[in-house]
Amino acid sequence: MHEDDTGARVAVPHRVRRVVSLVPSLTETVAATEPGLLVGATDWCSHPEGLDVVRVRGTKNPDVDLVRDLRPDLVLANAEENRACDLDALREAGVPVWVTDIRTVDRALSSLRRLLTEACGLPVPGWLVDAADAWASAPPPERTRNAVVPIWRRPWMVVGGDTFAGDVLARLGVVNLYAGHADRYPKAPLDELVGAAPDLVVLPDEPYRFTADDGPESFPGIPCALVCGRHLTWYGPSLVTAPEVLRRQLAEEAPRRGPSSPGSRPSR
């Protein structure tokens, strides 16, 4: 019996052979470590490319019956990404569920280590060691900038307090102006975001797909950085290259262009 990130006791089998992941980050985590374990994943699990497993719908609406029928030894979930009612239904069906709760880089590194070693019975993978080294050896930021970090529009929503993305940015010298907000992902009208007079607007390409043509035009006169949502919000193998990739993208200002059609991408 082991405890997951939420403190829940999970009856993990002595040997885990079949895993269903309900979180894209955790799917990539297992696939990069021991791909043969995965038998199911969500429709949004896009990494690694070519992953050949049964798809069980989305993170917010998994097909609980299908997950159960896959006879997993363990289901991997996240406190933010997945609904408690779905996880409770799986537990009631006798399926062990391991829930992660990741809000900082340090917590990501320790949580993934426990998930792989305690829950899945695997050795610590080399990529996780490389990820810890990458963040430990990352140079201090040359400057600090205040920013707003939209994650959606119509309505506008931003990264608030106590979030993994906020911690990632803080380590790279970007101070989230909404870090003190009571909500983790508050709605905020555009005039409020512009009126906050940020030094920078950080526009990730997921969950909303901000692009050079869709996002920067709403913040005239304010530098905007288009960044990779996977490196900003995913806590898995992307952690290895995230410091380098994001540092480069944050230094690049998006061109000012007119608006185009909106788009969206899956969550982490």
What residue segments make up the domains of the chain, in order of their start? 2-134, 139-250
2-134 and 139-250 have identical folds? yes
Q: 9 forms bridges with which residues in the sheet?
A: 3
- CB within 8 Å of 230: residues ≥ 6 apart: 47, 206, 238, 268
What is the model's pTM? 0.91
CA–CA distance, 59 with 43 (Å, rounded to integer): 8
**Stretches in the chain below the pLDDT threshold 70:** 254-268
CATH code of the region 2-134: 3.40.50.1980
- At 261 the pLDDT is 37
- At 258 the pLDDT is 39
- CB within 8 Å of 156: residues ≥ 6 apart: 150, 187, 188, 189, 190, 193
Annotation: CATH topology of 139-250: Rossmann fold (3.40.50)
- At 257 the pLDDT is 43
- At 253 the pLDDT is 73
- At 80 the pLDDT is 94
Tokens of 177: 């102006």
Residue type, 17: R
Q: Specify the 3-state DSSP secondary structure of 21.
A: strand
Q: Which letter does DSSP use for residue 214 in this model?
A: B
Q: Which of 157, 189, 179 is nearest to 264 (CA)?
A: 157
CA–CA distance, 67 with 9 (Å, rounded to integer): 21
